[in-house]
Amino acid sequence: MLPTTKSCEVIMPAGQGGCCREPFRRRRFCTKHQQEYVQWTKKYKDASRIVLKMERTALLSFSEARGDCALPDVEAQITRMQAYFQAIRAEIEGREQHHGRFFRKIDHGHDQYLKVLRSKELTCTVLLSILFDKRHQINLAAARARDMLVVRQISRSALLPASRSKSHDFDAVPNAVVWVPII
């Protein structure tokens, strides 16, 4: 009986035949796919480090997201949360692509970690929704305040006597006060 030769275990995209090269030094993949494995692993591990770093510096609680703050602060929070969301998304996609390419069976620990990442992604989505709503409310309040100022200015100018109109010659009246609209 001839010894069976083992072939590279990489999972090829649908419609393509498998890699027929022999694995390199008792590994699961040929030299080409071993290099690819290392590169893809590094890529999702780098994404994972970014997520962990952002969790230590940029994570926002629900109470902080709902708290009072100015528009520039809300914009900064939105920017940070969007970056965090993108980092989580990159890690999830990297892990899924890596696992789909190099493993036939899904590892339980890997699957559990993906569930944790998806939970973080969902939390991030909810926080972003809260922040977007908060930004909208701040912008509405600012617009209402501007509208109220305009209405007050119009009301004041309509109530002014004719002697205070802009066409009146104030030089002829001693101690005349010029009305200036508030902008």
Q: What is the DSSP string of 10-60?
A: --PPTTSPPP-SPPSTT-SS-HHHHHHHHHHHHHHHHHHHHHHHHHHHT--
Residue 176 lies in a domain: no
Quick check: is 172 in a domain? no
In a domain, 60, yes or no: yes
In a domain? residue 12: no
- Residue 15 within a domain: no
Residue 138 falls within a domain, yes or no? yes
For residue 114, the model assigns a pLDDT of 95
4-8, 49-53, 111-115: which has the minimum mean pLDDT? Answer: 4-8
Residue 101 maps to which CATH number? 1.20.58
Distance CA 49, CA 55 (A): 10
Note down the domain range covering 59.
31-159
| 3-state secondary structure (DSSP) of residue 174 | coil
89 part of a folded domain: yes
Question: Would you place residue 45 in the very low, low, confident or very high pLDDT band (cuts 50, 70, 90)?
Answer: very high
Average pLDDT over all residues of the chain:
82
Asked whether residue 147 is domain-assigned, the answer is: yes
Residues contacting residue 59 through CB under 8 Å, at least 6 positions apart: 84
Quick one: average pLDDT of 117-144?
93
Number of domains observed in the structure of the chain: 1
Q: What is the mean pLDDT of residues 1-8?
A: 63
What is the pLDDT averaged over residues 130-136? Answer: 93
pLDDT for 173: 47
Q: What is the pLDDT of residue 5?
A: 57
From 48, 66, 64, select the one nearest 120 (Cα to Cα).
48
Mean pLDDT, residues 154-159: 71
Looking at residue 176, its pLDDT comes to 45
Question: What is the spatial distance between Cα 14 and Cα 87, in angstroms, rounded to a whole number?
Answer: 28
Fill in the amino acid letter for 26: R
**Distance (Å, rounded) from C-alpha 54 to C-alpha 74?**
17
